[in-house]
């Protein structure tokens, strides 16, 4: 029991340690099963196929951290909408410059996130209900923009994002951008305010914090990250993918939970969600590599995920300490 206690003590200080350990273990197994997986020439492709989920997981994090039952289940549709807007609207109309495309995508994501935040923090809708509505509306918009056929397209910089800029894997940009933005925001009071509001909103309110503005900003930040995820997805598949929205929504939230972030808010980290997404990506990859029948792989994959979440919960002892 003392070993368990010390693991728990570590996880109390570093809630993402479990996801880190799991990711590392799975990485070693993946490499053992398929040595080519680790070859440097393979890195850009591996990272590019990981980037959409990694960004989606990070996009789901701020809303959950902001507490009050906060969650954003519109992340999946937002990222597919952005993906489709690039392929179906921007590129065919000659808008190919990243200086134009990237800001548009980020603005679309952040605007939808801000609307979600407004519904939650000001109109006081249940976060699940508000973002479920957004999920349906944005998903419908994505389907409409995509149209009857699947649009395809790519341009120089999107190919580089899926490959590499010189020696640097392009996906490091899309995965690194949310982390960088987080680090910059941590130099302002915002991140601390986010944790405080998520940890105890009554206390934050009584201390004079602007609770609604913090929450709106959290959802907008998540939306912005979903915009980055959309760019990552578009550059990876070079086509519209309205049907992938639901999968990303669910896996992103699973990543956050796996990464040690409490769904009750106020505890967790962005890095944890990234590592959680890493675990999920590697489990998926492993099942592909050992040629598990696709008829079975989803069920096995779900069961493994459940196992990981249960083990993580037991180790982390997520029950809130009261004294």
Partner 1 sequence: MNEQSQAERPAVLEAAGLAKAFGATRALRSCSLRMPAGEVHALMGENGSGKSTLVKILTGVHAPDSGTLTVDGRPVRFGGPAAAIRAGVMAVYQEVLVVGPRSVLENVWLGADGVFRRRVAEADKRSRAAAVLAELLEQVPDLDTPVEQLSLSDRQACGIARALVRGPKVLILDEATSALDVATRDRLFRAVARRKAEGMSVLFVSHRMDEVDAIADRVSVLRSGESVVTLDAAEATTAELVRLMTGSEHLAGASAADVAGRAPDPAAPVLLRAAGVRLHPGAEPVDFELRAGEVVGLAGLEGHGQDAFIKALWEGPPGEGSVLRTVDGTGAPIRSEQQAAAAGIGYVPRDRRAEALFGTMSIRENFSAATLRQDRRSGLLSRRAAQERFAPYRSALKIRMGRGSDPVSTLSGGNQQKVVIARWLARDPQVLLLNDPTRGVDIGAKRDIYALLAELTARGVAVVMLSTEVDEHIELMDRVLVFREGALSATLTRAELTRQSLVAAFFGRTVDEGPVSGTVAGPDAGPTTPALTPDGAA
Which residues here bind partner 1, judged by CB under 8 A?
68, 124, 188-190, 192-193, 195-196, 199-211, 213-214, 217, 266-267, 320-321, 323
207: number of Cβ within 10 Å: 10
Nearer to partner 1, 119 or 245 (CB): 119
Closest distance to partner 1 from the beta carbon of 202 (Å): 5
- For residues 119 and 208, the answer to whether their CB atoms sit within 8 Å is no
Closest distance to partner 1 from the beta carbon of 199 (Å): 4
Closest distance to partner 1 from the beta carbon of 210 (Å): 6
Closest distance to partner 1 from the beta carbon of 65 (Å): 11
| Long-range contacts of 86-92, Cβ-Cβ distance < 8 Å, separation of 24 or more | 86/153, 86/158, 86/230, 86/231, 86/234, 87/151, 87/152, 87/153, 87/234, 87/238, 87/239, 87/240, 88/145, 88/146, 88/147, 88/151, 88/153, 88/240, 89/145, 91/153, 91/154, 91/155, 92/151, 92/153
Q: Is 169 helix (H, G, I), strand (E, B) or coil?
A: strand
Distance CA 287, CA 280 (A): 11
Nearer to partner 1, 188 or 294 (CB): 188
Distance CA 119, CA 139 (A): 18
- For residues 178 and 225, the answer to whether their CB atoms sit within 8 Å is yes
Nearer to partner 1, 195 or 301 (CB): 195
**Dihedral (Cα; 93, 165, 227, 26), 10-degree rounding:** 140
Closest distance to partner 1 from the beta carbon of 217 (Å): 7
- List phi, psi (to 5°) of 26: -65, -35
Longest Cα separation, the chain: 64
Closest distance to partner 1 from the beta carbon of 80 (Å): 30
Q: Which residues contact 29 (CB under 8 A, 6 or more apart)?
A: 282, 286
Nearer to partner 1, 255 or 269 (CB): 269
Nearer to partner 1, 197 or 251 (CB): 197
Closest distance to partner 1 from the beta carbon of 269 (Å): 11
Nearer to partner 1, 40 or 321 (CB): 321
Q: Is 113 helix (H, G, I), strand (E, B) or coil?
A: helix
- For residues 172 and 50, the answer to whether their CB atoms sit within 8 Å is no
Closest distance to partner 1 from the beta carbon of 122 (Å): 10
Nearer to partner 1, 6 or 42 (CB): 6
Nearer to partner 1, 139 or 266 (CB): 266
């Amino acid at each position: 029991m003392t070993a368990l206690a010390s693991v728990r003590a570590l996880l109390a200080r570093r809630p993402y340690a479990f996801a880190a350990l799991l990711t590392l273990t799975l990485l070693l197994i993946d490499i053992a099963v398929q040595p080519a997986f680790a070859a440097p020439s393979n890195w850009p492709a591996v990272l590019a196929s990981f980037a959409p989920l990694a960004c989606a997981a990070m996009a789901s994090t701020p809303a959950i951290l902001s507490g009050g039952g906060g969650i954003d289940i519109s992340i999946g549709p937002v990222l597919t909408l952005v993906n489709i807007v690039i392929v179906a609207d921007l590129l065919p109309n000659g808008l190919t410059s990243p200086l134009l495309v990237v800001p548009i995508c980020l603005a679309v994501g952040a605007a939808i996130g801000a609307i979600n935040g407004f519904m939650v923090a000001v109109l006081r809708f249940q976060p699940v209900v508000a973002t479920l509505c957004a999920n349906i509306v944005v998903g419908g918009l994505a389907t409409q923009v995509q149209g009857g056929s699947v649009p395809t397209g790519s341009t120089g910089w999107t190919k580089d994002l899926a490959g590499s800029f010189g020696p640097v894997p392009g996906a490091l940009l899309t995965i690194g951008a949310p982390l960088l933005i987080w680090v910059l925001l941590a130099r302002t009071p915002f991140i601390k305010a986010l944790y405080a509001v998520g940890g105890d909103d009554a206390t934050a309110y009584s201390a004079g914090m602007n609770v609604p503005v913090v929450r709106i900003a959290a959802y907008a930040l998540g939306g912005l990250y979903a915009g980055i995820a959309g760019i990552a997805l578009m550059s990876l598949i070079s086509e519209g993918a309205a049907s992938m929205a639901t999968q990303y929504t669910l896996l992103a939230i699973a990543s956050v939970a796996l990464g040690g972030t409490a769904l009750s808010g106020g505890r967790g980290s962005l890095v944890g969600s990234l590592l959680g997404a890493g675990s999920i990506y590697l489990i998926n990859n492993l099942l592909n590599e050992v040629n598990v029948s696709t008829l079975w792989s989803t069920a096995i994959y779900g069961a493994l995920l459940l196992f990981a979440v249960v083990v993580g919960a037991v180790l982390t002892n997520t029950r809130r300490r009261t004294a």
